[in-house]
Chains A and B, each alone.
Chain A
């Protein structure tokens, strides 16, 4: 009987301890399967129908064109997470863009019209956002171009602690399926440009800089960026 009581008490204690941990600890949200994270209110530009070829098939490294009535993607982040990239300084691998200015990348205007696109030269190029200090990042959203029948190649999104991307570099997204950009083989799929852009969630990653690579598209050799948003909170 005593044994039974001890076992029951130990079991009850363990359950109680688990309950306390999962409801109050810093890992509480994860342990509860995302509780504590709330959907970020993403502001998508107006949808434009894309004419796509007949019988367009998906494959393991390229997504098919999404349906016209596709639901907007969701990004979960802690309550209070904001676009920490807004109005932050931008640099790129192309000092003299073909048109547009670096500041347009984080100016909040994502209409995708001619005058809101930053166009960088041919081949592999990158843009980089200085978050002005370490932040806990929960997701990146990128719009390369207005909705169009085009796939950008070798889209790679990385974060790091230093502007030269030497210290603590982490890759959040990589669609370079053949390592043609030399940043390693990626497991993500190339996608068609839509008004939803690409939402890239990540799990509370602390970094001070965000860098996005691309290497032209199926349409031309240039690299375009309409807007990049980074959702997060100041580093704890």
Chain B
């Protein structure tokens, strides 16, 4: 009993550490455009009970539905009363959940490797950064690991509950993000490769771990039914949009086309590996997760070849090694790349790194020397944690382009726009009911709809035809408003149409992207009168 309690207690301590890196200052970083879009869609679901799966954009429904309990618990009566902290807490919960899932794999990895993997997952800068990001990546990684862990449990004991949980996890992967198809492919290839590998080297599965021997058709049928039920519930928006079921399949054609490249997100094949290995922009700090890559390389060897590193590798290890290898290769092969996508295979790398770290310590002969080795490993491990802190919690780096995890991110200057809107609303006779018009071609105004969610009379242009997506109105026919936020690109069309007088200021949206803010002159003058007294020196 004690033998289990100690490692489980250690794992909970690691999870607490993971929470300590993920929970603080969740509102520090301005919302990324993608985060704001997802939060806005969740807001519509929360306020109006409306959700429709869109096969072209915004990914699956699981994130939005998973957010609802957080919103209920936050006490927010509506989307307008919510905060970015509530939304980001969802990803924090899934992120820490990645660590809490690991005991399910402990008899396959070994407890030392499990604890090492938990620690590396907890402090990986990329993991910490994107576990605090309201997008689909962290839930996708969680459901992927849940599918692997519960399937592994099923191979160990053959109980129906594990089969159901594994199938439901697979369904939730699908209901989270379309890139689950890459994980499905990697899982299938890894399963075939690990069976082939064991056959090639004449390895027999240890007593009682024959997965296929335990597989029962009745279990498979029930598990499949449970997975289908989950998919139907989520994609049909709880039986209100049956078209969503068909769209959940048709979407793959759309994403396949997009992944083909020739877009602004295209990058070379080694983009992710370079990002993890070494990144330094100008004289900015060096960022590196080489420790995880190096340990994972050792873990890969230990997982596949019986050696002093791992005398009797469990059947889980070859699967994990091949799965991580194939998933890394698949993500690297797709030209469309955004840095958060690497989380999927980074999770596999963390597991393998745990195996590698444990194998290296096992090689050291005496307890004293093992202690020395662990102390030596503590230094680079601590350095990873420092990087994680810097990337996610240090105001100077959280949205600075010298942070490799920052990608097309909103700049702090944008937060001045909602701040200004609040200042003006305080002076406006209608308060937050004042009229705001936002005009930016290509909807290049996100995350403003999130930050202006408390202003009900806020309109967005261009207006598009819902069927064709074509622009039907670039500029409002009567563009005058209390506050107009517009891309400088539409100034030629907008300014001749303005009848009222305005004060204009310039604000940043993203690096190199500016917005013009037009404030109705009377409102601005009232604001300046209120501001005109200088502060005490």
Give chain A's interface residues, CB within 8 Å of chain B: 51, 53-57, 59-62, 98-99, 114-115, 121-122, 149-151, 153, 165-166, 169, 177-179, 182-185, 190, 216-222
Contact = CB atoms under 8 A, between A and B. Distances in A.
A57 B490 contact: no
Contacts of A165: 537
B528 A57 contact: no
Contact of B283 (A57, A114, A121, A222): A114
A60 B503 contact: yes
Contacts of A61: 503-505
B487 A179 contact: no
Contacts of B302: none
B527 A178 contact: yes
5 contacts: A55-B488, A56-B488, A99-B283, A179-B534, A221-B411
Contacts of A190: 506
A35 B366 CA distance: 88
Interface in B512-534: 512, 514, 516, 527-528, 531-532, 534
B407 to A, nearest CB: 15
A57 B413 contact: no
Nearest to A122: B395
A114 B534 contact: no
B505 A183 contact: no
B459 to A, nearest CB: 21
In this complex, which of A55, A218, A221, A222 has the most chain B Cβ atoms within 10 angstroms of its Cβ?
Answer: A218
Interface in B480-508: 487-492, 495, 503-508
B368 interface: no
A214 to B, nearest CB: 13
A216 B413 contact: yes
Interface string B426-470: 000000000000000000000000000000000000000000000
A178 B399 CA distance: 25
Contacts of A185: 528, 531-532, 534
Contacts of B17: none
Interface of B: 282-284, 395-396, 399-401, 411-413, 487-492, 495, 503-508, 511-512, 514, 516, 527-528, 531-532, 534-535, 537
A57 B531 contact: no
Contacts of A149: 512, 514
A179 B533 CA distance: 8
B488 A218 contact: no
Nearest to A113: B282
A218 B506 contact: yes
A218 B516 contact: no
A53 B282 CA distance: 25
A218 B514 contact: yes
B508 to A, nearest CB: 3
Contact of B508 (A114, A115, A219): A219
Contacts of A153: 413
A222 B400 CA distance: 9
B491 A220 contact: no
Contact of A183 (B399, B491, B508, B534): B534
Given A53-B514, A98-B396, A218-B411, A151 B535 contact: no
Nearest to B517: A59
Contacts of B516: 57, 59
A5 B511 CA distance: 76
A59 B504 contact: yes
Contacts of B514: 53, 149, 218
A54 B489 contact: yes
Contacts of B508: 150, 217-220
In this complex, which of A54, A177, A190, A219 has the most chain B Cβ atoms within 10 angstroms of its Cβ?
Answer: A219
B506 A221 contact: no
A166 B537 contact: yes
B394 to A, nearest CB: 10
For the complex of A and B, list the 5 residue pairs with the smallest distance between their C-beta atoms, beginning with the closest: A182-B535, A218-B508, A59-B504, A184-B534, A114-B282
B412 A55 contact: no
Given A179-B534, A185-B528, A220 B511 contact: yes
B504 A122 contact: no
Contact of A221 (B412, B503, B512, B534): B412
B533 to A, nearest CB: 8
Given A55-B490, A179-B531, 7 more contacts: A53-B487, A61-B505, A165-B537, A178-B531, A182-B535, A218-B411, A221-B411
Contact of A62 (B395, B399, B505, B537): B505
B412 A122 contact: yes
B421 to A, nearest CB: 13
Contacts of B399: 220
Contacts of A51: 512
B534 A57 contact: no
A216 B511 CA distance: 13
Contacts of B534: 179, 182-185
A177 B532 CA distance: 10
Contacts of A115: 283
A178 B537 contact: no
B356 to A, nearest CB: 35
B396 A222 contact: yes
A101 B215 CA distance: 67
B358 to A, nearest CB: 38
Contact of A55 (B489, B506, B528, B535): B489
A118 to B, nearest CB: 11
A208 to B, nearest CB: 18
Contacts of B491: 55-57
Contacts of B395: 121-122, 221
A57 B489 contact: no
A62 B508 CA distance: 13
A13 B348 CA distance: 98
A114 B490 CA distance: 34
A61 B516 CA distance: 12
A59 B411 contact: no
A1 B334 CA distance: 105
A4 to B, nearest CB: 58
Contact of B506 (A62, A122, A179): A62
